[in-house]
Structure formats: structure tokens, C-alpha cells
Amino acid sequence: MPKIFFRLSTPKFHFGLSLYTENIFSVYKKMPEHKIFYTRNLPHIQPQEETFFITYRLVDSIPVAKIKEFTELTAVRQKAASTKVEKYDEQKRHFGIVDDYLDRNLNKPYWLKENAVARIVSDSLHFYNSKFYNLWSYCIMPNHVHLVIATLQGAPPLYNILQRHKRYTAVECNKVLKRSGQFWTHESYDHIVRNDEEFNRIIFYIINNPLKAGFVKDWKDWDWTYVNPELAM
């Protein structure tokens, strides 16, 4: 995978977002309740032509006991919420808890550490670029993936895009690993990126994942980190 280089010295950087700044200003609090829907257990707001931060992980990468703990905490908070939007706020908090746990506790399996496996995931993400979304950034860690995309007009709903990606990569990765059975968890975590400040913060967060884990000393040295060249300073 070709590495993407751009000058980045501090977390307080700014990308040129002339094509997308208007699209990523928040519609979050104003979103009609009927646009919030559920896949399995999680509520989602997934309008077209929006920018999303997404995390998805390998099956069993978080212990069942921990997932139960996080889910029960979120359920209590959601029960106290009076609207679907408030419930989604709590789900977003749940996203943050899970994301933080993944980054601090790299539990097995580590299938994505295999270059051939990571390549399948990377190629699939790039395959849908310009078809269903603009691919802004991703980082493939040993047991999870962080991703920022902006969906395009006429593209399938986000959940459908992710289903296609995860279905294909699960089959192909299992072939490489000579295994069968579930590869990804069924759910993915996603939320709308509300403005350019949040966008910049999330990109910085994504590219620094391998550094926080101690895998590399420079984000550019991690083979499975991608930043769209349009974001170069």
C-alpha cells in the first residue's frame, strides 16, 4: 500500500475542506426522529451525503463480560432519555467507551496484523471509494478498524455499504487464514462528524492509533494507515 505523507506537527492542524465543509456542519441535533433507525441493538443516524466516523472490530476482540458492562451502562442512560435523539446521544457515548477500550486493550484475535489480511480490508475500502463514498482516512489495527468516509449522493445507506464490505472481507480473510466462522462483530459503531474541527480531531486520533499502541514512532511508518492526499497541507 502506498503511504500518504503530509506535514503534521501538532494536533491542532487544519485541512482544506472547501468541498465538504458545508456538508459536515452538524445536522445532528436537528435530525428528525424518523431518520434514526436501529440495526440489531444500536441506534444509527445515517443520512446520505454526510461524513461519518466508523469503528468496527473482529469478533471476540472485547470480552463478553466487558461488552455486557458497557451495554448495561448505556441501557440505563438510554432509559432515562426521553427522545430518540437523546438515546442516540447516549449511544454515541457508548461508541466512545468501546473505542477507548479497543485502543487501550488490544485483545486477541490479531488477524488484521497479517499483511495479506490487512491488504484485503484495505483494497475493499478503496474499491468503494468514489463509488459510494469519498475515503478520507482509515487505520487498520490488529483487531479493529477506524474509518472516516463521506457518503455520496445516490449511494446505498451506510449500513448497507458496511454490510457489503464486511461480508466480502470476512469471506476472503477467512480463506487466507484457513478458518471458517464469524470474522467481524455484526455491529459497527458510527456517528456523524459535525464540523471541520471535529473532523481534524478524528483524523489525528485515527493516525495516532499505532503510536499509542507502541507499534511505531511515526504515524507514517504504519503500513495500514491512509490519509486522502486531498488533505495534504
Secondary structure (3-state) at 54: strand
- Nearest alpha carbon to residue 103 among 212, 191, 185: 212
Cβ contacts of residue 39 below 8 Å, gap of 6+?
A: 159, 187
What does each of the 233 residues of the chain score in pLDDT, given as a tens digit? 333 434 333 333 333 332 333 333 333 344 444 354 444 454 445 556 799 999 999 999 877 777 677 677 767 776 777 776 676 676 667 666 777 777 776 778 999 999 999 999 999 999 999 999 999 999 999 999 999 999 999 999 999 999 999 999 999 999 999 999 999 998 888 888 989 999 999 999 999 999 989 999 999 999 999 999 998 64
pLDDT recorded at residue 11: 35
pLDDT at position 166 is: 98
Residue labelled with grid coordinates 501538532: 10
The domains of the chain, with CATH numbers, are 21-231 (3.30.70.1290)
pLDDT score, position 95: 64
- Residue partners of 157: CB distance under 8 A and separation at least 6: 46, 48
**Concatenated DSSP letters of 155-203:** PPPHHHHHHHHHHHHHHHHHHHHT--S--B-S--EEEE--SHHHHHHHH
pTM to 2 decimal places: 0.73
Task: Look up residue 169 and give its amino acid.
Answer: T
User: Which residues, at least 6 apart from 166, have a Cβ–Cβ distance to it below 8 Å?
Assistant: 56, 183, 184, 188
